[in-house]
Chain A
Amino acid sequence: MSKHFLFKVLSISLLLVFVQGCTTVKAWEKGYLSKPEMAFAPDPMEQKIMDHTYFAKEASSSGSAVSGGGCGCN
């Protein structure tokens, strides 16, 4: 069931990419997108400590797992 769900999410996302390829935002129109608060991780140091904390306190981290598995989580 998970593989099917994953596949669905991926296909829809990829389709979005292809369709949106037709409405290109130009280089001089990227003022808003270039604001630091529009980044996926506006503050990398903050992101790291949050990921580290959630990794130590919850069961589920993979792509966001921090380096150095030791987490002082015992």
Chain B
Amino acid sequence: MKSSNKVCLALTSAALTLPGMVSERAHAQAVPEKTKVGYRYTSYQEGDQPANTLAAGAAERFNIDVHQFSVVAPVSSNVAVNVSAITETLSGASPWFIQAGPDGEAQVVMSGATIEENRDELNVGASIYEESTQQNFGLSYSKENDYESVGASMSSSLWMNENNTTLDWGLSASSDTIRPTQDAAVDPGRVAEEDKNRLTLFGGFSQVITKTTVVGANVSFANYEGFLSDPYKLVMINGAPGRDSRPDKRRQWAVDVKLRNYQPKIHSALHFDYRFYRDNWAITSHTITSGIYTDLWSWKLSGRLRYYSQVGASFYRDFYIAPRADGFYSSDYRLSGYAATSLRLGVSKKIAMFELFTNYEYYNSFDGSNPALVDFAMVTAGLDLNF
């Protein structure tokens, strides 16, 4: 069989965004012809904590300003490099602990002072393109006031069957250190310095079904070891405060299935994604995303609906009536059972060498016992430049 197969443009791959990597893999096998520079600004705002479930502390939750930069450039006939950076400024209060209110209902006590924090992240990587394969390598680093992380990743893709079938696999690892901001007056006994390590493996494939349909599936596994608790959060155990205390090991599995189908009559690509997740803290979740991406002359419009539901961790409670034998406690809403829906709309336009983007997303959580479930809105504006 003829093995020569330089395909012009996108044949997509199953791999999802891997830690430390830009998923440019969608346009693979041939080195990108042009250099692409991208910038995005995102403003993220959480809804205030409703007064009726706010026992004490500030009602205003997180506001985050994010600046993203990305450069992908060919450096030889078969190698491209990528550099991306994120810098974000975060301010606002967050849930500190949950307590039983006067009628036994759960109420949240928020952290008092609003904090301002910076987080910076840098990723560098390279992609090597051969006859029917692509190899990616990446390094990542992130730092914020109380957290530092270093990571590395590598992944490979293989094209077969006249570029109709793609196999992908890869792994990534990171090593993090947390040095929580101390506050002896409010919370003595906070840990001073802890570590955590992560290893992620994934494998997947994509398959062209017809001229207008492609599907993909991906399986991933992640293993975490070390300090996995939230050092800032407390729990209420029979009316007395205790620390958020989670197991020091966590194993996660996820299966993703994706479908892309093009409808020429309406100039639109239809997207459907489903993800099933399970971990050894007994959390399981389902994520269903559907979207439509429409091309009207030089304008591109997109709309996307996402439904998310999770079952809480085995050791999660809003508040505890009695101590637990295993010593695990958390009232962090992110480990509780709840559902969320979000709507995302996007518009982009090509003007000469530029492409301008703007997106809006509204996310709404519900159906959970934790009073600190979050709603947020996110607005993004940015541009890409190809030269």
Contacts and interface: CB of A to CB of B under 8 A. Distances in A.
Of the candidates A26, A29, A37, the one having the most CB atoms from chain B within 10 angstroms of its own CB is A37
B68 A63 contact: no
A58 to B, nearest CB: 6
A35 B27 CA distance: 10
12 contacts: A17-B207, A30-B211, A42-B293, A43-B357, A45-B22, A50-B361, A51-B17, A53-B376, A58-B308, A58-B340, A70-B142, A70-B147
Interface of B: 5, 7-14, 16-24, 26-27, 38, 40, 42, 44, 62, 64, 66, 68, 70, 84, 86, 88, 90, 94, 117, 119, 121, 123, 138, 140-144, 146-149, 151, 153, 161-165, 172, 174, 176, 178, 196, 198, 200, 202, 205-212, 214-222, 230, 232-233, 252-258, 260, 262, 264, 268-269, 276-279, 283-285, 287, 293-295, 300, 302, 308, 310, 313, 334-335, 340, 344, 346, 357, 359, 361, 363, 374, 376, 378, 380, 382, 384
Contacts of B121: 67-68
B222 to A, nearest CB: 4
Contact of B162 (A27, A41, A46, A51): A27
Given A2-B253, A32-B211, A66 B17 contact: yes
Given A20-B207, A38-B214, A59-B310, A70 B380 contact: no
B279 A25 contact: no
For chain A, what secondary structure do more than half of its interface residues adopt (helix, strand, loop), or is it mixed? loop
B253 A62 contact: yes
Contact of B256 (A35, A37, A63): A63
A14 B197 CA distance: 32
A34 B279 CA distance: 36
Given A33-B11, A40-B260, A70-B149, A49 B380 contact: yes
Nearest to B70: A45
B68 A45 contact: yes
Chain A to chain B: the 9 pairs with minimum beta-carbon distance, closest first:
A68-B142, A63-B220, A70-B147, A67-B140, A39-B26, A62-B222, A34-B9, A37-B293, A67-B20
Contacts of B222: 62-63, 65
Contacts of A37: 268-269, 293-295, 300, 302
Contacts of B284: 2
A47 B17 contact: yes
A33 to B, nearest CB: 6
A36 B10 contact: yes
Please report whether the interface of chain B is mostly helix, strand, loop or mixed according to DSSP.
strand
Interface size class of A (residues with CB under 8 A): 35 or more
Given A45-B68, A62-B252, A25 B293 contact: no
Contacts of B64: 72
B6 to A, nearest CB: 9
B219 A39 contact: no
Nearest to B40: A45
A30 B11 contact: yes
Nearest to B68: A45
A41 B208 contact: no
B68 A49 contact: yes
A33 B208 contact: yes
Contacts of A29: 211
B200 A58 contact: no
A34 B29 CA distance: 13
B63 to A, nearest CB: 11
Contacts of A31: 211
A25 B313 CA distance: 45
Contacts of B94: 74
